[in-house]
Amino acid sequence: DSGVTQTPKHLITATGQRVTLRCSPRSGDLSVYWYQQSLDQGLQFLIQYYNGEERAKGNILERFSAQQFPDLHSELNLSSLELGDSALYFCASSVGHGLAGGETQYFGPGTRLLVL
Amino acid sequence: QKEVEQDPGPLSVPEGAIVSLNCTYSNSAFQYFMWYRQYSRKGPELLMYTYSSGNKEDGRFTAQVDKSSKYISLFIRDSQPSDSATYLCAMSASFQGAQKLVFGQGTRLTINP
């Protein structure tokens, strides 16, 4: 168990809908990262938050947004969902902001999203 | 061309065999190199972590980094059925004030009893 929790575990929704995925980082970790994992694209970095502020952006679509709250939990909002958004969404956390590079990230169990 | 290339396999070997998993990369800025193991329906877990070129050993696992060739490897000795999983290489560097982490596609490994 990595100490990172994600809810829900599974989510089934329809195209055009909006969903919110939730992540609680390990105790003491200030950074939260969001990833998307699909069969054809592999694991793709979406966005990082550090202590409530956006730190880095990867391949995140404009339909997607995230935030980190004062208690450090984070939410990933996916809107106007398309069939191609079906994937595993992982949250990871780390202690610092990653400026030194190579900081270990601990992954949660993921949320499996199916868009019908 | 992807920044990190990894043969997706699948790779199937008998129990006790030595397994070699590899990744190549194109961005010379990468300094930190990791291997993650991901069991089916689970999140990735950090297996090995190395900085710059060289070898690192941890039990039955050895990670090698050759920055001159932009090539990293993970060796598993005396492989066990419990090693059956997808192995993802990952590499990172500081980029625009933050950590940039890029994963390989993952290699699905099966160890047959």
Residue B99 has pLDDT above 90, yes or no: no
pLDDT given for residue B7 in this prediction:
84
In whole angstroms, what is the distance from residue B80 CA to residue B76 CA?
Answer: 9
CA–CA separation, B109 vs B113, rounded Å? 13
The confidence score (pLDDT) of residue A110 equals: 96
Are A99 and B104 within 8 A, CB to CB? no
pLDDT in tens, B40-67: 888 999 898 888 788 999 999 999 999 9
For residue A43, give the nearest of B32, B96, B103 by CB distance: B103
CB contact under 8 A, A105 and B45: no
**Taking all residues of chain B, what is their mean pLDDT, rounded to a whole number?**
91
Mapping DSSP onto H, E and C, the string for chain A reads: CCCCEEECCEEEECCCCCEEEEEECCCCCCEEEEEEEECCCEEEEEEEEECCEEEEECCCCCCEEEEECCCCCEEEEECCCCHHHCEEEEEEEECCCCCCCCCCCEECCCEEEEEC
Report, as ranges of residue numbers, the positions in chain A whose pLDDT lies below 70.
Answer: 98-102
Contact A43 B106 (CB under 8 A): yes
pLDDT confidence of residue A98: 67
Band of residue B2 on the pLDDT scale cut at 50, 70, 90: confident
Residue scoring higher pLDDT (B100 or B27): B27
